[in-house]
A and B are shown apart, each in its own frame.
Chain A
């Protein structure tokens, strides 16, 4: 079964750090770009960060640039999001999403996890 599973969410104080992880299975993880997308409860989806299969493509939303770092370990089929200097406005459900096309970047997302909730509050 093709799936991605996120973990690492939780309650964290403003200014602190948190690291999210995503494990992919059922597909050739190292052939696909992977992304993080978040959703504030009751609001729309916001793309957060993306990383190409080979690391050549790496991008961040303006709202997280300089605070968040995306990385991957293809040997472990894993994608990570290191979130530093967290703010209240980072509170959201964070999804890991697989790009649609082998060896390409940015064509769309065809597999999403269930999400991991991050709450930034004192």
Chain B
């Protein structure tokens, strides 16, 4: 169970789009469409943005969209806003009832 790989940081200007990648293996992301994404501010509980690969909870903006290619999942945030700044975390089902987190990506809105 190796941690999923995320870029340490990404940045974008207000109104732009940014994409955060989350790379796993053929045993997790490559096999299961069960990636979840979280917005995370240290000291607070993570907020789920996407779950079950493609599902968006009520109340989460449709500016947050996901895609997947092979062993990598992507979170795209469009129409970047200042309140989007923070840490973003991915997680995947890893088979055998296990889950795997990514290391997190810090988003800076310029």
User: Which residues of A are in contact with B by a Cβ distance under 8 Å?
Assistant: 35, 37, 44-47, 50, 52, 57-62, 95, 100-101, 104-114
Contact = CB atoms under 8 A, between A and B. Distances in A.
B79 interface: no
A60 B3 CA distance: 14
B46 interface: yes
A105 B104 CA distance: 22
Contact of B99 (A58, A101, A106): A106
B97 A52 contact: yes
A62 B45 CA distance: 24
Nearest to B92: A106
A44 B103 contact: yes
A46 B50 CA distance: 19
Interface in B55-110: 55, 57, 89, 91, 93, 96-104
B14 interface: no
B9 interface: no
Contact of A106 (B1, B38, B57, B97): B97
Contacts of B100: 47
A107 B89 contact: no
Given A44-B101, A101-B52, A110-B57, A59 B46 contact: no
A24 to B, nearest CB: 14
Interface string B1-32: 10100000000000000000000000000001
A46 B36 CA distance: 14
Given A58-B97, A60-B98, A112 B89 contact: no
Contact of B91 (A58, A101, A104, A108): A108
Contacts of A109: 36, 38, 46, 48, 91
Contacts of B38: 109
B110 to A, nearest CB: 25
